[in-house]
Amino acid sequence: MSTSTASKPTILVLCTGNSCRSHLAEGLLRQAAGDLFEIASAGSKPAGYVHPLAIRAMAEVGIDISRHHSKHMNEFLNRPVETVITVCGNADQACPIFPGQVNRHHWPFDDPAHATGTEEEQLAVFRRVREEIRRVFTSYADGRRDALKAAGSVKR
């Protein structure tokens, strides 16, 4: 039986602008472990949009983040957040403690929004960062799934 959204622990991915890296991570982690966790992303200084090249890079791997929107991390201050993962140095420094927070991780990635060159060259940076995030967050999801199985919380 699947876990209902109300009972799934929340993992919050934080970045400064909440326009690229945190949305890439949110989409990839939701794909890898959305059956076990509620996944969300936010920023300390939200840009107000999701970068079009982030949306495009994710669409290439079959993940639709086109309906995501940029959110401020303060939207989560009154919600139980089990794990906070920061993906840039500024968000790590600005990160408050959230209600119910048990875990905190900091895995910084290059900001593809700063890529220069042609659109294709910029997209190549988004793809590289997407794949770096995929490796880290898939390993994280696998580790969490293994831990839950060992504890008897997940049955297959």
pLDDT at position 51 is: 97
| CATH number for the domain harbouring residue 68 | 3.40.50.2300
> Does residue 151 lie in a domain region?
no
Residues identified as active-site: 15, 88, 95
Residue 2 has a pLDDT of: 43
Q: Residue 121: beta bridge partners?
A: none
The domain of 58 spans 5-145
Over its C-alpha atoms, the chain yields an Rg (Å, rounded) of 15
Q: Outline where DSSP puts E strands in the chain.
A: 10-15, 38-43, 83-86, 103-106
Low-confidence ranges of the chain (pLDDT < 50): 1-5
**Is residue 122, in this structure, part of any structural domain at all?**
yes
Residue 156 inside a domain? The answer is: no
Q: Is 33 inside a domain boundary?
A: yes
Length of the chain counted residue by residue: 156
Closest CA to 25 of 114, 103, 87, 112: 87
Does the residue 153 lie in any domain?
Answer: no
Give the residue among 44, 47, 41 at the shortest CA–CA distance from 29.
Answer: 41
Choose among 9, 2, 31: nearest CA to 137: 31
Domains in the chain: how many in total? Answer: 1
- Six-digit token pair at 47? 């840009």
What are the beta bridge partners of residue 86?
14, 106
Q: Is 150 inside a domain boundary?
A: no
Provide the whole-model pTM.
0.89
Q: Is residue 93 part of a domain?
A: yes
Quick check: is 125 in a domain? yes
Among 142, 126, 148, CA closest to 63: 126
Residue 6 pLDDT: 55
pLDDT of residue 98: 76
